[in-house]
Amino acid sequence: MLLLRRCSSLTRLCSINSHRHPVTPALASCAVRFFSSDREEQFRWSRRWTHAVAGLLAGSGAVLAYALKQHKAEKADAITGQSAATLPSSSLPIFSQEEVSRHRSLEDGVWVTYKGGVYDITEFVAMHPGGDKIMMAAGGSVEPFWALYAVHNQEHVLEMLSEYKASHLRAEDQRKQQSLNPSDPFSSDPERHPVLRINNLKPFNAETPPEILTESYITPSVLFFKRNHLPVPNVDPATYKLQIEINGPANSERGGGALSLSLDDLKNKFPKHTVTAVVQCAGNRRSDMHKAKPVKGLNWGIGAIGNATWSGAKLRDVLQAAGYSLDDSKWARHVQFEGLDQDVGGTTYGASIPLRKAISEDGDCLLAYEMNGEVLPADHGFPIRVIVPGTVGARNVKWLGKIIVSAEESNSHWQQNDYKGFSPSTDWDTVDYKSAPAIQELPIQSAITVPADGAVVDRSEEEVTVKGYAWSGGGREVVRVDVSIDGGNTWKIAQLKGSNDGGDGGTAPPPGQAWAWKLWELTVPLPEDTEKMEIVCKAVDSSYNMQPDTIMPIWNLRGVLSNAWHKVNVRIQGEEEDQ
């Protein structure tokens, strides 16, 4: 009965949209097969149906409202038996996050959380106007997705969800604090959203699925890639202190400036600045390099990058408050950062940046206490992370404990013996880490997020929309993205969406301060003479730097700086193929 009703609802949805997209015979045959097959087959078909419907809806708010109204009317007279939704709210059971996480499929049930409530939305999955994207939230919170897809900002949506309330989330999980297990240094790591693609659990390293990256100009914090080198430290904001030292020559009058600031000091004693900036891991797209020839490192796809707003005190202001003056530029060359995260031996994460970047008015370095307008999440460095716009993620030190103005670079492992680029001819027998500079500004980069590699496009769609991101380090603005669907033989220019054209409603950044990315998009007709497309993108920055064509000439043993043209292979199926 429920399935029948679901289908009649879908049929109605199709019919109201039929003036825009005629329902194809394929959709009718799909309906027949749906009722004649087993549960798994039904699920597969229901996914295809909802995909088709989602396509028809094409993001129309009015249609979504209609769908929800229909569903409520149907649900009111549904025979559903004993259901959590029929219980008074106060009598709902309490479930742990762990239990919620087990419900990520139609077979096991699809549970999500929203503001402390647990919702069993198994029934709704096939009804979801946005198709099976809803499955990305399974076992976790829907909130980051609702933030991504603005169509959910309607009263109906929340009403709708409330009908599926099954239980409450355990209070301690709501506070996202687990009891500490002293035998596992990672036991106090925060909860993460299950949609993240995990490369490594301890320390936690996980990236954003590609198709999510280009859904919004600002990457939601929960979905932002995490790259931890060590366990997440449990910092008490009430007792937190940031130490600042100006380590001049021992015999200098100026050597020895020092300052200690509380979190409140940082928030109240310095003007609050906000920048929109990309953070990208040096290993982003390492998997492309690894495919060409094995490298050592986490096998990142294209999602070890994100674009967020960061707010906090200017590093420059804090250094000046600690006594830094122009005189210090005679001996000072670097600003070192030490994290509060440490290994079992007590070694903390560390990095440094050139002094010039740290003190420059235009450098926009921040001691950030907010990400995307909210308190900096634990995985992103709570309470303070230094944001070094235009510079590799590894220097944007999280859980910042100490800042040292110095004549020397940080002597940490990550500054001296990692995060450096080498020639393709350098191997583990010949590598001399002293011979290469530490990565700071990153080179020009771009990648295709949609379609996915290996995707199949139906020829009846007649065209394909290619989406992606592009960014360059050092504040160099992306000025053009070229896209090819024939492996790089011919190119078309993609449409850029940046901060100055609707990306976040702001104005164009001054030259040299373009810290945010550009999303881009291009719709092209499907080629008629082939069943295969090799889609390629390459970006150009304001210094007219281009991406290298191929991987092998930039191959390096650590697999960093993987910024050759990005390629995805797509197959066209349908009509012409069948002939």
What token pair was written down for 283? 């290993």
63/253 Cα distance (integer angstroms) = 72
Q: Is 27 left (phi over 0), alpha (psi -120 to 50) or beta?
A: alpha
User: b/e for 100-125, b at 16 or more Cβ within 10 A?
Assistant: beebbebeebbbbbbeebbbbbbbbb
- Is 14 labeled as catalytic in the residue annotation? no
* Min separation Cβ 269 and a second copy, Å: 23
Q: Is 451 or 473 the residue whose CB approaches a second copy more closely?
A: 473
Q: Is 66 or 300 the residue whose CB approaches a second copy more closely?
A: 300
- The answer to whether 421 contacts a second copy (rule: CB under 8 A) is yes
- The answer to whether 488 contacts a second copy (rule: CB under 8 A) is yes
Q: Are 375 and 440 in contact (CB under 8 A)?
A: no
Orientation angle between helical segments 25-35 and 2-16, nearest 10 degrees = 170
- Among 21, 128, 333, 459, the active-site one is 128
- Could you tell me which stretch among 96-104, 139-147, 238-246, 468-476 binds a second copy (CB under 8 A)? 468-476
Orientation angle between helical segments 61-76 and 155-162, nearest 10 degrees = 30
408/121 Cα distance (integer angstroms) = 56
- The answer to whether 487 contacts a second copy (rule: CB under 8 A) is no
Instruction: Show the beta-strand stretches assigned E in 102-171.
Output: 104-105, 109-114, 117-120, 165-169
Binding track, positions 429-458, relative to a second copy; x by CB under 8 A:
-------xx-xxxxxx--------------
- Count CB neighbours of 232 within 10 A: 24
- The answer to whether 474 contacts a second copy (rule: CB under 8 A) is yes
Q: Which of 473, 503, 509, 559 binds a second copy (CB under 8 A)?
A: 473
DSSP bridge partners of 455: none
247/403 Cα distance (integer angstroms) = 10
- Could you tell me which stretch among 93-101, 154-162, 477-485, 524-532 binds a second copy (CB under 8 A)? 477-485
- Among 419, 476, 480, 558, the active-site one is 419
- Is 152 labeled as catalytic in the residue annotation? yes
For the segment 552-571, give every residue that binds a second copy (CB under 8 A). Answer: 553-554, 561
- Could you tell me which stretch among 27-35, 112-120, 129-137, 417-425 binds a second copy (CB under 8 A)? 417-425
What token pair was written down for 544? 């007219």
- Is 544 labeled as catalytic in the residue annotation? no
What is the four-CA torsion angle of 456, 459, 465, 466, rounded to 10 degrees? 40
* Min separation Cβ 417 and a second copy, Å: 17
- The answer to whether 492 contacts a second copy (rule: CB under 8 A) is yes
Q: Is 97 or 472 the residue whose CB approaches a second copy more closely?
A: 472
Orientation angle between helical segments 39-57 and 2-16, nearest 10 degrees = 20
Please count the CA atoms within 13 angstroms of the CA of 526 that sit on its side-chain side.
21
DSSP bridge partners of 456: 571
Q: Which of 130, 190, 548, 574 binds a second copy (CB under 8 A)?
A: 548
- Could you tell me which stretch among 30-38, 305-313, 452-460, 488-496 binds a second copy (CB under 8 A)? 488-496
- Is 128 labeled as catalytic in the residue annotation? yes
Q: Which of 86, 179, 425, 507 binds a second copy (CB under 8 A)?
A: 425
For the segment 294-353, give every residue that binds a second copy (CB under 8 A). Answer: 333
Size of the site for a second copy (CB under 8 A): 46
* Min separation Cβ 419 and a second copy, Å: 11
- Is 459 labeled as catalytic in the residue annotation? no
499/311 Cα distance (integer angstroms) = 17
What token pair was written down for 132? 């099976």
- The answer to whether 423 contacts a second copy (rule: CB under 8 A) is yes
* Min separation Cβ 542 and a second copy, Å: 6
Contact set with a second copy (CB under 8 A):
333, 354, 356-357, 362, 421, 423-426, 436-437, 439-444, 473-474, 476, 479-480, 482, 488, 490-493, 510-512, 538, 540, 542-550, 553-554, 561
- Catalytically active residues are 128, 152, 227, 281, 419
